[in-house]
């Protein structure tokens, strides 16, 4: 049977879902969409939690509360999963793939946890599982990795992939404000959730790093344990120091090759030189910086969240998969590389920024610097400030092994004149 239309079912009509429905029903764009797919797209169902609630812009005859049936019914060729969460979404996506439907999703948590398993089903059924919007909202970074750069040996992918934390850190940088005050303001403005943990502690960014790594290096998508550190301990003093020394503090997600078969994935705050392309990405913007062996450094930036930008990325996936559907094929996806090993954080090198609250006594400097020396960690900058009995030491190290730095921190806690270890932030992007 020749297909004359591609029938689309959508699960979820929140911010992104309703923006997508508006795009699919915008008649002025029909010619462009038909040209891209080779046939019209027809929206046949929109599953929502409660069909009695108002869903402006969604024709009421398309509404249903039976999400699982949208995933499996015969008159849907392509499922768009925008429900969010992992468990329910997993059921819908798996059911759709098993019914031979292609799936487009924006669900980073689902893909980071179950992507490899779901992709295997998609391959077996010769259908697509595409998820551009799962990383970087409207930025077409994943498609670039799986098409333009598929022949490129990628060395490192480093991104600002969480808008909430970038908004907070940008505001701390421009206003000199403290973390807690800026977070409260971000919550008031709707840039941060009432419970901000997933964003500020780096869980959201970690899921995105898992996905970036899988497309850059072929690592598996099955809930990889990623070294993860959030921004909640960053102080106004840290930001001021960074500014004075021409650095900017960003929450970065990094996936990189270590040697030929090692991969490191991590999320942590980092001081980046002001001249680094990622340093100028402010507010809720996202950006991903890719270093390829031949392509050299590349960066893509754009809106990392929001209904329209995210829906725009979802629409791009629908057009790709819709065209595949017309041609009876699927898009290429990278194999999982089985010969890669995860390199623990302790085996990596970095420069570190560190603050110590110390007693302002003779000999304190000697005691502190001895600990660094004992572990072979070389100091490149040391500032002392403070009033009366208490003083603050700020140190920046040369490149040091993470394990040596960890041992240094442990020993510093035993030094009698050290009151407290304050911040410890990695410095990246100087190479």
SS3 87: helix
Of 151-159, 358-366, 372-380, 406-414, which segment contacts a copy of itself by CB under 8 A? 151-159
Q: Does 116 bind a copy of itself (CB under 8 A)?
A: no
- Residue 421 in contact with residue 409, Cβ under 8 Å? yes
Q: Does 327 bind a copy of itself (CB under 8 A)?
A: yes
- Residue 81 in contact with residue 92, Cβ under 8 Å? yes
Do the strands 129-130 and 102-105 form a parallel or antiparallel pair, or are they unpaired?
A: parallel
Considering only residues 345 to 374 of the shown chain, the ones binding a copy of itself according to CB under 8 A are none
Q: Does 334 bind a copy of itself (CB under 8 A)?
A: yes
Supply 144's token pair. Answer: 């670039």
Q: Does 219 bind a copy of itself (CB under 8 A)?
A: no
How far lies 159's CA from each of 209, 212, 214, 231, in Å?
Answer: 8, 9, 14, 15
Among 151, 190, 259, 388, binds a copy of itself (CB under 8 A): 151
Among 262, 277, 344, 422, binds a copy of itself (CB under 8 A): 277
Q: Is 208 a catalytic residue?
A: yes
SS3 425: strand
Q: Does 300 bind a copy of itself (CB under 8 A)?
A: yes
Q: Does 149 bind a copy of itself (CB under 8 A)?
A: yes
Among 134, 301, 325, 356, binds a copy of itself (CB under 8 A): 301
How far lies 342's CA from each of 153, 216, 261, 337, 338, in Å?
Answer: 18, 14, 9, 12, 11
Q: Does 394 bind a copy of itself (CB under 8 A)?
A: no
Among 150, 184, 225, 381, binds a copy of itself (CB under 8 A): 150
* Number of C-beta neighbours around residue 79 at 10 A: 29
Name beta bridge partners: 88.
none
Of 26-34, 264-272, 344-352, 392-400, which segment contacts a copy of itself by CB under 8 A? 26-34
Residue from 101, 108, 208, 250 carrying the catalytic annotation: 208
Q: Does 132 bind a copy of itself (CB under 8 A)?
A: yes
| Residue with the two structure tokens 């623990």 | 344
Phi, psi of 366 (to 5 degrees): -65, -45
Q: How far is the CB of 258 from a copy of itself (least distance, A)?
A: 17
The span from the CA of 423 to the CA of 183, in Å, is 19
Q: Does 302 bind a copy of itself (CB under 8 A)?
A: yes
Q: Does 124 bind a copy of itself (CB under 8 A)?
A: no
- Residue 121 in contact with residue 97, Cβ under 8 Å? yes
Q: How far is the CB of 419 from a copy of itself (least distance, A)?
A: 40
| Residue with the two structure tokens 């030491």 | 393
Supply 382's token pair. Answer: 């040391």
Among 262, 273, 306, 344, binds a copy of itself (CB under 8 A): 306
Q: Closer to a copy of itself by CB, 33 or 224: give it.
A: 33
Q: Does 292 bind a copy of itself (CB under 8 A)?
A: yes
Q: Does 315 bind a copy of itself (CB under 8 A)?
A: yes
> Shortest CA distance to 81 belongs to which of 106, 59, 64?
106
Q: Does 299 bind a copy of itself (CB under 8 A)?
A: yes
Q: Does 429 bind a copy of itself (CB under 8 A)?
A: no
The span from the CA of 160 to the CA of 158, in Å, is 7
Of 54-62, 241-249, 327-335, 379-387, which segment contacts a copy of itself by CB under 8 A? 327-335
Q: Does 259 bind a copy of itself (CB under 8 A)?
A: no
Angle between helices 108-124 and 87-98 (to 10 degrees): 20
Strands (E), 244-348: 247-258, 262-273, 285-292, 296-303, 341-342
Q: How far is the CB of 335 from a copy of itself (least distance, A)?
A: 6
Q: How far is the CB of 35 from a copy of itself (least distance, A)?
A: 6
* Number of C-beta neighbours around residue 176 at 10 A: 12
Q: Does 36 bind a copy of itself (CB under 8 A)?
A: yes
Q: Does 27 bind a copy of itself (CB under 8 A)?
A: no
| Residue with the two structure tokens 């910086």 | 289
Q: Closer to a copy of itself by CB, 85 or 297: give it.
A: 297
Size of the site for a copy of itself (CB under 8 A): 51
Q: Who's near 384: CB < 8 A, 6+ residues apart?
A: 365, 391, 392, 393, 394
Applying CB under 8 A, the residues found at the interface with a copy of itself are 19, 23, 29, 32-33, 35-36, 38, 132, 138-140, 143-144, 147-153, 277, 280, 292, 294-303, 306, 308-309, 311-313, 315-316, 318-320, 323, 327, 329, 332, 334-335
Residues designated catalytic? 208
């Amino acid at each position: 049977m020749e297909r004359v239309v591609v029938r689309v079912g959508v699960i979820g009509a929140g911010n992104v879902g309703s923006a997508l429905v508006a795009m699919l029903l915008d008649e002025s764009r029909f010619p462009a969409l038909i040209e891209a797919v080779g046939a019209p797209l027809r929206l046949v169902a929109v599953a929502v939690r409660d069909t009695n609630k108002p869903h402006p812009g969604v024709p009421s005859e398309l509404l249903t509360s039976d999400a699982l049936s949208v995933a499996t019914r015969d008159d849907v060729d392509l499922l768009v999963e925008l429900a969010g969460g992992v468990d329910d979404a997993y059921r819908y996506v798996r059911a759709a793939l098993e019914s031979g439907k292609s799936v487009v999703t924006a669900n980073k948590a689902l893909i980071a946890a179950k992507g490899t398993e779901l992709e295997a089903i998609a391959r077996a059924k010769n259908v697509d599982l595409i998820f551009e919007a799962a990383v970087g909202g409207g930025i077409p970074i994943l498609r670039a990795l799986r098409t333009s750069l598929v022949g490129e040996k990628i060395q490192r992918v480093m991104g600002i992939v969480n808008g909430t934390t970038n908004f907070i850190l940008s505001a701390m940088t421009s206003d000199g404000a403290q973390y807690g005050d800026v977070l409260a303001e971000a919550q008031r403005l709707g840039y941060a959730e009432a419970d901000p943990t997933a964003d500020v502690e780096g869980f959201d960014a970690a899921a995105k790093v898992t996905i970036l790594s899988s497309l850059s290096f072929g690592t598996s998508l099955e809930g990889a344990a990623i070294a993860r550190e959030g921004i909640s301990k960053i102080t106004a003093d840290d930001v001021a120091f960074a500014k004075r020394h021409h650095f900017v503090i960003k929450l970065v997600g990094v996936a990189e090759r270590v040697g030929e078969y090692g991969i490191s994935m991590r999320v942590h705050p980092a001081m980046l030189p002001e001249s680094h392309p990622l340093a100028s990405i402010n507010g809720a913007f996202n950006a991903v910086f890719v270093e390829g062996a031949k392509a050299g450094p590349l960066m893509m930036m754009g809106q990392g969240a929001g209904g329209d930008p995210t829906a725009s990325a979802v629409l791009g996936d629908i057009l790709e998969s819709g065209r595949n559907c017309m041609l009876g094929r699927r898009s290429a996806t990278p194999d999982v590389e089985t010969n890669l090993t995860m390199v623990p954080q302790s085996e990596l090198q970095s420069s570190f920024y560190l603050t110590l609250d110390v007693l302002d006594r003779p000999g304190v400097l000697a005691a502190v610097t001895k600990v660094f020396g004992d572990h072979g960690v070389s100091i490149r900058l040391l500032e002392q400030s403070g009033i009366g009995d208490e003083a603050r030491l700020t140190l920046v190290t040369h490149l040091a092994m993470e394990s040596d730095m960890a041992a240094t921190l442990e020993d510093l806690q035993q030094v009698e004149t050290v009151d407290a270890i304050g911040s410890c932030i990695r410095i990246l992007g100087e190479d």
